[in-house]
Structure 1
Amino acid sequence: MRKKRSKSIHQPALPGISEAQVPIVAIIGRPNVGKSTFFNRVLGTRSAIVDDMPGVTRDRITAECTYQGRRLQLVDTGGLDLSTSESMGQLIRVQSQTAIAEADILVVIMDGRAGLTPLDQEIATLLRDVNKPTFYAINKIDTPQAEPLLADFYQLGKDQLFPISAEHGTGVDELLEAFLPLLPVDPDDGERVPFPRVAVVGRPNVGKSTLINTLFGAERVVVSDIPGTTRDPVDTHIEYQGTPIIFTDTAGIRRRGKIERGIEGYSLARTLKALGRSDIAILILDGVEGATEQDTKIAGLLLKQGRGCVLFINKWDLRQDDPTAQTQFSKELHRRFPFFTFVPTIFGSALKGSSIDPLLSTIQSVMEAFCYRVPTARLNQFLQKALEDNPLPSKRRSPLKSMFMTQVATKPPTFALFVGKSVEVQTFYLRFLENRLRDTFGFEGTPIRILVRQR
């Protein structure tokens, strides 16, 4: 959601927040009051899954946006239930409490149609000891006739309540403008260089969320033995050797026939969307269970999407005492992933910090290859040498040398091969050129595309 930049306020009112920092605005409330709907409304996109069933959101879903020339980092949280004894509910509560601790501004959403509940009062009591700007929004007040429903909420003792309808957008601008003076002006106005994005993908319960938490050094996302715990893609920002990187935890990808309609279908769609906007994917395999047919299908999806890739073999600490295990596993990978021979493989454990530095170093190398551009002069020197070593088959029984190659794109590296009108370049020869490009220029972990064009 974006408006014309306001020029009346130039300094943020939040202590300790500079213009280079982005204030964190956390959305808090009990389950099923419309937090994710409000989150999507402010962003203007359907970034978080919305469903009538309580408890859909489990992790902290984060997105950065700009409102009237001011940046904010919006955080959607799972429903806060202080009395729950269920294991998943307790994990969600920890994530919500962490969001409260990290936030600069709190927005508390309550359901106007349901009225003030005991759980709402418990949350308000919890937040009394939190010394941060807190704004109470009463949701589902979508008509003037519904405004009398606000009366029940004045028992909270708050001077100002914000009636809103997250679904229809009513009152949302008034709420945002209330904490607008607390936000720093965005000096670049959205023209910053984007950070590299890395999606963590794989089957359910192979350790994706565990790896994200180890990378972050804290319980950034909910981890449980229950498959399908992660539903929304969760972005996590870290810095490695001075370079910011965005890691995205995604929902596990099951076989098509096992995917249920509704929430799981939405989760898969968001996983594919997160993959599409990423530069690199970390495909996690279970080192104990081994590679499966579903793993090969996910790998094929990554290749089709044209993402850089790193294979991470998880739970390897359980097999490290077997001296032949790594050799046998590598042979199995070569058999199941013959199209992935260019992808680097790391054997490690998502639980152990010792695996993090090799993984980040490999990601950095793959990112460099993903963005690498070969100068045209060097590329055509390479092409002439390749034609001398292995001439392109021709119906005229004479080798063809009048060809030209140039790189037309990066992410992934894409090349255009210009040939004569009557020349046909077979798939096996394109594969030969791809292998030669890798031998000459590297391109570790990134797919290569060669487009044949007639001169």
Structure 2
Amino acid sequence: MSSQPTLNSLMSPMPLVAIIGRPNVGKSTLFNRILGSRTAIVDDVPGVTRDRNYADTNYRNRPFRLIDTGGLEPAASDGMLALIRRQSELAIAEADVLILLMDGRAGLMPQDQEVIRLLRGTTKPLFVAINKIDTPKTEVLVADFYQLGIDSLFPISAEHGIGVADLLDALYPLLSDQQDPEEQNPVPRVAVVGRPNVGKSTLVNAVLGEERVVVSDVPGTTRDAVDSLATYEGRQYLFTDTAGIRRRGKVDRGIEGYSVARSLRAIGRSDVAVLLLDGEEGITEQDTKISGLVIRQGRACLMLVNKWDLHEGDAQARQRFERDLKRRFPFLTWAPVLFGAAVKPGSLRHLFPTIDDVYASFTRRIPTGELNQLLQTILATHPLPSRKGKPTKITKSAFMTQVATRPPVFALFVGHPENMTPAYLRFLEHRLREEYGFAGTPIRLLVRKK
């Protein structure tokens, strides 16, 4: 069994295999076992998984997309359990193949029978796996589940991998034998980041036009970094809804610690970070720290001030907020700022065009000849810092080339790198932005000996 737990090809028509079942039967453990990596957060506490979690993998060279779901509680009618149930129902609706997982050690529970009754009407292939069967003594526990009237049961141990290959062998004929087509056009990866409860999941649902992730007023609802594919005017974007990042001293060990780590990893593998700010509460110190995490990982960034519908009728509110932005984010002046409300998708009409502009800057490459023409123009009026008061030759005194994109990185070759000052490098960065834009992306300047 081999796995490639990436979502680069979310747009490919691969079979969808959903793992469903009541809470705490080991769905995320099985999800991780099939992928061969710790992609989903696992804990003994019921209800850890809340959103649908997707990952691409393959078995015996046949690709498929695996979906991990929250625990299915048929009786749940309100609160968080009802929201989780809704996500499970959506996964069942979109899946091509279903794996129903039950807990062999706990035995057949009334909730299991309720789930079976919910699935009676589906015509989709259903594979019933009995988990936590990891010793000869526990094999007899499978007998209790035959009263469901299902002929084929698959005893497995998701934690130890026992029986998982047999389950996948049974699924194998339903998997496509076509390999994923290689991507012709890269899909921008967009991570939605911010403090807890600023509206990240609501924003993702708004751009997708569906209930992709669980939304609740309870801070910390989102735990996994959840990837979703959005399409705008024929172009596709991979959005990642991340867990809210609190101050380090307030982060609990365990589930929340894993969630924050996943959020940081999601930022690192994104192209563009949408930093969501709370238009009602205003800017906090934690917002500036999160923006620092984005910059340190070299990601492009734009800021979206959410809940701006609450300021309707206040003509001065935007000017006050923009002044506060300049004061709190002096290091992020190159990041575009949008105002809107995730609960009103019509107010987000500038989001995708801005993401396109930022992504274009993030991936832009300037020809070396053009770059050095600009450099010589700069040196004619602002020569390189001199050594011990001696003037530096203007012509042929420096050479610049772009050595990387994502983000743009420039190497400046000079005779005396030790003379370069931070102020002069900031000046060069300002001129590069003035000439080429580079909206929303950090720029890195490397000084090297000529």
- TM-score tier after normalising by the smaller chain length: over 0.9
Measured in 1, the distance between the counterparts of 2:417 and 2:446 equals: 16
Residue of 57, 66, 72 corresponding to 2:58: 66
Matched, 1:217 2:212: no
Measured in 1, the distance between the counterparts of 2:39 and 2:188 equals: 19
Measured in 1, the distance between the counterparts of 2:27 and 2:251 equals: 26
Residue of 193, 196, 201 corresponding to 1:204: 196
In 1, are the aligned partners of 2:63 and 2:179 still within 8 Å (CA)?
no
Q: Deviations over 1:2-59 (max 9, x none)?
A: 18xxxxxxxxxxxxxxx95111111100000000001111111111110001111111
Matched, 1:451 2:443: no
Match of 1:6 in 2: none
Matched, 1:433 2:428: yes
Q: Deviations over 1:312-363 (max 9, x none)?
A: 0001111131111111111110000000100000000011121333101100
Task: Give, as a single letter, the amino acid of the residue that structure 1 aligns with 2:248.
Answer: R
Counting matched residue pairs gives 440
* 1:192-271 superposed matches below 5 A: 194-271=186-263
**TM-score of the two chains, using structure 2 as the length reference:** 0.95
In 1, are the aligned partners of 2:417 and 2:448 still within 8 Å (CA)?
no
Residues 237-246 or 202-211, more deviating = 237-246
Measured in 1, the distance between the counterparts of 2:185 and 2:116 equals: 40
Matched, 1:388 2:380: yes
Match of 1:418 in 2: 413
Task: Give, as a single letter, the amino acid of the residue that structure 1 aligns with 2:218.
Answer: I
Task: Give, as a single letter, the amino acid of the residue that structure 1 aligns with 2:319.
Answer: T
Alignment root-mean-square deviation, CA = 1.6
In 2, are the aligned partners of 1:216 and 1:238 still within 8 Å (CA)?
yes
**1:194–1:167 distance in 2 versus 1, CA, 3 Å:** farther
Describe the SS at the equivalent of 1:452. Answer: strand
* 1:93-104 superposed matches below 5 A: 93-104=85-96
In 1, are the aligned partners of 2:417 and 2:447 still within 8 Å (CA)?
no
Measured in 1, the distance between the counterparts of 2:411 and 2:178 equals: 40
Task: Give, as a single letter, the amino acid of the residue that structure 2 aligns with 1:113.
Answer: R
**1:384–1:352 distance in 2 versus 1, CA, 3 Å:** same
Describe the SS at the equivalent of 1:326. Answer: helix
**1:50–1:243 distance in 2 versus 1, CA, 3 Å:** same
Residue of 112, 115, 122 corresponding to 1:123: 115
Describe the SS at the equivalent of 2:349. Answer: helix
Describe the SS at the equivalent of 1:47. Answer: coil
Measured in 1, the distance between the counterparts of 2:19 and 2:301 equals: 34
Matched, 1:166 2:158: yes
Describe the SS at the equivalent of 2:253. Answer: coil
**1:344–1:433 distance in 2 versus 1, CA, 3 Å:** same
Matched, 1:84 2:76: yes
Match of 1:53 in 2: 45
**1:339–1:422 distance in 2 versus 1, CA, 3 Å:** closer
Measured in 2, the distance between the counterparts of 1:387 and 1:296 equals: 35
Measured in 1, the distance between the counterparts of 2:372 and 2:74 equals: 66
Task: Give, as a single letter, the amino acid of the residue that structure 2 aligns with 1:454.
Answer: K
In 2, are the aligned partners of 1:394 and 1:400 still within 8 Å (CA)?
no
Q: How many Å apart are 1:73 and its aligned residue?
A: 1.3
Residue of 359, 367, 380 corresponding to 1:367: 359
Matched, 1:407 2:371: no
Residue of 161, 171, 174 corresponding to 1:179: 171
Task: Give, as a single letter, the amino acid of the residue that structure 2 aligns with 1:196.
Answer: P
Match of 2:2 in 1: 2
Task: Give, as a single letter, the amino acid of the residue that structure 2 aligns with 1:409.
Answer: A
Task: Give, as a single letter, the amino acid of the residue that structure 1 aligns with 2:72.
Answer: L
Match of 1:398 in 2: 391
* 1:13-32 superposed matches below 5 A: 21-32=13-24
In 2, are the aligned partners of 1:163 and 1:171 still within 8 Å (CA)?
yes
Q: How many Å apart are 1:421 and its aligned residue?
A: 4.2
Q: How many Å apart are 1:242 and its aligned residue?
A: 2.2
**TM-score of the two chains, using structure 1 as the length reference:** 0.94
Residues 428-437 or 349-358, more deviating = 349-358
Describe the SS at the equivalent of 1:179. Answer: helix
Gaps of at least 5 residues in structure 2 are 4-10
